Structure 1
Amino acid sequence: MTPSSESDKTTIYDVADAAGVAISTVSRVLNNSRDVSDATRERVLRAIEELQFRPNRTAKSLAQRATRTIAVAVPTFTTPFHNELLKGVRSRLDIGEVDLLLCDLAWSDPEATLRNFLARGAMDALLLTGLRYNPQVANELRALGAPVVMIGSKWEKMDSYYWEDEVGVELAVRHLIEQGHHKIGMITTPHDTHVRNARVRGYRDVLEEAGIAFDKSRVAWGETEKHDGFSEESGYEAMQKLLDTHPDLTAVFASSDVQAVGAWQAIRHAGLSVPENFALVGYDDIKISRFIGLSSVAQNMHDVGEKAAETLLRRLNREDFPTVNEQVQHELHIRKSSDHTISA
């Protein structure tokens, strides 16, 4: 029996059912594990042939290719934030021995995009970013029988490098308060996401700890939805709203550096200067921020990319070490845009 269309494409679950074994057993066969009896291995291989199950990992093994394929799945490749991640991954990999495969998860439905990508079978290892923990997705990833490293959130029983967004925001907003600012706005994104909510929560908590009332009308976003609102255009539009509705503001925290760059332009167009009239702090610490003097919270994406790639390579080499769950530490880099104290 063979699949009749792309939508009916055979999966590892089909092979397990046909062979009468667990998914983990199929994974061990695909990985040439010795922990499978000859009779069981033969039954699984026969099911694979009958169902025409050919993930690229198996096809590669059959063709006796030495090059390994590492897939990197991210929400987008065009933002500076994700570019830094990819640069870190690339700097650690020997491209002569590793093929790098890129998967654009998109912002709208990343889990569905990931499932379609996994169904095509295209990697020996996977680095995945921008996805919150989901038990069902975690089970599907474990069924791959390939190393997986998560970036951005903590996944139980899987290697992961993650941040606590509230901590980074607290560094930025507390710095603005210490500089004498009490009327502080925030630029965020329009969609109800974990990242958005965590950063707004961090902004609110620091204000309230300092005895400053949280005013949700001081949290603004732009109309441009490119990159899920993390863009210069969106930052410019959000800053225009804040200047129109809250002309008494003296500082703004932006959820990303690209938003902060757009906000800076809106401040200039309003006839104000940074930092004399207006303090500005961004998030991500992308390369351009260091050249234009934008204060920013660093997430050290390049280093994270290197570490994640190193972990994948060690897993591919079958090194035995404990699951990695590393919380990446934020760093606030103070520059011209906020390095100016105002009187109370």
Structure 2
Amino acid sequence: MAASIKDVAKEAGVSIATVSRVLNDIDVVNEETKKKVQEAIQKLGYRPNIVARSLKTQRTKTIGILIPDISSQFYPEIVRGAEDVSNIYDYNVILCNSDLDAEKEKEYLRVLKEKMVDGVLYMSSSLKPDITELIRELDLKTVLVESSDEEGTFPSVTIDNVKAGYDSANYIINKGNKDIAYIGVAKDAGNAWGHRYKGFEKAMKEHNIEINKDMVFFGDLRTETGYKGIAQILKKASSIDAVVCASDEIAMGAINALRENQLSVPQDVDVIGFNNIYSARVYYPNLTTVAQPMYDMGSIAMRMLIKLINQKTIEQGHYVLDHEIIERDSCK
């Protein structure tokens, strides 16, 4: 039979109220008594009833993390950073994967509300107005990671994706490339992925290079998008010097398709990825890519959210972290 709070109080020789104060981290209990209670909890293997506790405190010490694609190597590193911080502050995590489905995102937000989570770290595949409206309607304390909403309503941790997309294209252009393809997500997506194309457009315009619509392919950030994109581009384009990709997975799919068409990377075509996932370092050729500080994005966002939950001042509402281009072997 599971130990009760009454059993803990008896073992420690204190009142039930004192055990409750220790469990809720109320400072009025002296260190010696607190130690006795903690030792009794450990000895008896007592686990608080979270539901009963939450009814009293209106807190569950639980945070929801919503990611768009669990198969991507990008999001687990963000989650690891977030979870390391949540463990420090004794918060539990519920991880939800929307699988790039906006309706599934909405359903998970409703489920997290029903589970009475204290807050949500939200990584979106769309960040459409109806989703941000739902977050407001559900009154969920939320920090956005990777993207930010246009109005700047929600705290966020991002990089400057327009600038990163610009830097990526600029890097390729400065290699002397003119026939440049782009594979990624359309700019009207409204999130980080679409912003990368805006940066690409800006760089091309500044260098007076016309964007050939036959050399632009939009899909998601998965490997299949890169493979399909190159297959379609090669059917229409007369020549190709380089490919700017919105993710490392896209870059890998693109390289596979180029190989199948007897085009070598980087001898014939330069390819640049985005994110700097682990596979970018071990894939052949090793990918030149735009690096995001994934772990830091997760840890900073979780610290912000815990402050928000505990009604503490957030020094900065929107963190824009640095990105950098990592030069490897996929560009000449």
Confirm or deny a common fold (TM above 0.5).
yes
Cα displacement (A) at 1:124: 1.7
1:169-223 CA deviation, whole Å, 9 max, x = no partner? 11111001111111111112479522454333222221111011121111024xx
- When residues 92 and 104 of structure 1 are mapped into structure 2, their CA distance, relative to the original with a 3 A threshold, is same
- Percent identity, aligned pairs only, is 25
Gaps of 5+ in 1: 1-55, 222-227
Rounded to whole Å, the distance in 1 between the matches of 2:168 and 2:96 is: 32
- When residues 156 and 170 of structure 1 are mapped into structure 2, their CA distance, relative to the original with a 3 A threshold, is closer
1:5-63 CA deviation, whole Å, 9 max, x = no partner? xxxxxxxxxxxxxxxxxxxxxxxxxxxxxxxxxxxxxxxxxxxxxxxxxxx98743247
**Secondary structure of 2:87 counterpart:** coil
**Secondary structure of 1:290 counterpart:** helix
Rounded to whole Å, the distance in 2 between the matches of 1:219 and 1:77 is: 26
Instruction: Choose the corresponding residue for 1:269, options 251, 260, 263.
Output: 260
2:209 aligned residue: 212
Letter of the 2:164 partner, please give it.
G
Rounded to whole Å, the distance in 2 between the matches of 1:90 and 1:119 is: 20
User: How do 1:271-286 residues align onto structure 2 when only pairs under 5 Å count?
Assistant: 271-286=262-277
Rounded to whole Å, the distance in 1 between the matches of 2:314 and 2:201 is: 40
Q: Name the stretch that deviates more: 277-286 or 230-239.
A: 230-239
Is the counterpart of residue 83 in structure 1 residue 91 in structure 2? no
- When residues 204 and 280 of structure 1 are mapped into structure 2, their CA distance, relative to the original with a 3 A threshold, is same
Cα displacement (A) at 1:258: 0.3
1:331 aligned residue: 324
1:211-268 CA deviation, whole Å, 9 max, x = no partner? 11121111024xxxxxx63221221121122223224111001111101001111112
Letter of the 2:198 partner, please give it.
R
Cα displacement (A) at 1:318: 4.3
- When residues 247 and 294 of structure 1 are mapped into structure 2, their CA distance, relative to the original with a 3 A threshold, is farther
Rounded to whole Å, the distance in 1 between the matches of 2:195 and 2:153 is: 23
1:150 aligned residue: 144
Letter of the 1:211 partner, please give it.
N
Is the counterpart of residue 124 in structure 1 residue 115 in structure 2? no
Rounded to whole Å, the distance in 1 between the matches of 2:93 and 2:229 is: 37
1:278-330 CA deviation, whole Å, 9 max, x = no partner? 10001111111122310111222221001111222334454334452112232
**Contact 1:274–1:280 (CA<8 Å) still a contact in 2?**
yes
Rounded to whole Å, the distance in 1 between the matches of 2:74 and 2:167 is: 19
Letter of the 1:188 partner, please give it.
G
**Contact 1:93–1:309 (CA<8 Å) still a contact in 2?**
yes
**Secondary structure of 1:93 counterpart:** helix
Letter of the 2:214 partner, please give it.
S
Is the counterpart of residue 163 in structure 1 residue 159 in structure 2? yes
TM-score (ref. length: structure 2): 0.73
**Contact 2:65–2:122 (CA<8 Å) still a contact in 1?**
yes
User: How do 1:81-230 residues align onto structure 2 when only pairs under 5 Å count?
Assistant: 81-94=74-87, 97-110=90-103, 112-130=106-124, 132=127, 134=129, 136-140=133-137, 143-144=139-140, 147-151=141-145, 152-154=147-149, 156-189=152-185, 193-195=189-191, 196-221=193-218, 229-230=220-221
Rounded to whole Å, the distance in 2 between the matches of 1:297 and 1:192 is: 21
Gaps of 5+ in 2: 1-48
Rounded to whole Å, the distance in 2 between the matches of 1:139 and 1:231 is: 30
TM-score (ref. length: structure 1): 0.71
**Contact 2:304–2:314 (CA<8 Å) still a contact in 1?**
no
Q: How many residues are matched?
A: 275
- When residues 183 and 306 of structure 1 are mapped into structure 2, their CA distance, relative to the original with a 3 A threshold, is same
Rounded to whole Å, the distance in 1 between the matches of 2:89 and 2:299 is: 17
2:247 aligned residue: 256
Rounded to whole Å, the distance in 1 between the matches of 2:60 and 2:106 is: 28
Instruction: Choose the corresponding residue for 2:289, options 272, 275, 296.
Output: 296
Rounded to whole Å, the distance in 2 between the matches of 1:79 and 1:201 is: 23
Rounded to whole Å, the distance in 1 between the matches of 2:323 and 2:221 is: 19
